[in-house]
Amino acid sequence: MKMSLHKKKSTWREITASRIRKNPGKVWKVIAERITSPRQNLGEVNISRINRATKANEVVVVPGKVLGYGSIDHKVVIGAISFSKSAKEKIENAKGECLTLEELAKKYPDGKNVRILG
C-alpha cells in the first residue's frame, strides 16, 4: 500500500470550521458546514438587512461577508468571515461588535440566541 508523501494543505476556512465545530451548539455545526462549502456559496449581507432582521442586543452570525450598504440604528453583536471597512465602522458607531467566527464561537459556545443571516 502506497502512502502519499504530499499532505493536503488545509485552508483557513477548514481550520476555522474544525475549531468552531467543537462547540456543543447545533448552530456551530451548521456554520462549519456552510463555510467549508465552495466560496461562491458564501453569503454577503448588507447592514440594512441586519438592521431590519434584528432587534437591539441580538447576536448574529454571517457565514460570509458583511457589507456596508445602508445603516444600522441599534447595538448588535455580529460574527462573520469578514467585514467591509464601512460595515465595521457603522456597526461600531452603533455601539455594536464585529467578531470573527472563532471569537463569536468562544463567546457563545452553546449557540443559544445566535441567529444565522445570509
Q: Could you give the number of structural domains in the chain?
A: 1
Contacts of 88 by beta carbon, 8 Å cutoff, 6+ apart: 66, 68, 98
Kindly list the distances between the CA atom of residue 73 and the CA atoms of 46, 50, 53, 88, in Å, as whole numbers in the listed order: 14, 10, 12, 14
> CATH number for the domain including 87?
3.100.10.10
Which grid coordinates are listed for 88?
A: 465595521
In a domain? residue 2: no
Q: Which pLDDT belongs to residue 92? A: 96
Helix axes 26-35, 12-20, angle to 10 degrees: 170
In a domain? residue 6: no
**In terms of residue numbers, what domain contains 109?**
12-116
Instruction: List the pLDDT tens digit at each of the 118 positions of the chain.
Output: 555 555 566 677 788 788 777 778 888 888 888 888 888 888 899 999 999 999 999 999 999 999 999 999 999 999 999 999 999 999 999 999 999 999 999 999 998 999 999 8
**pTM, entire model:** 0.84
Strands (E) in 1-118, as ranges, are: 43-46, 58-67, 76-83, 97-99, 114-116
In a domain? residue 3: no
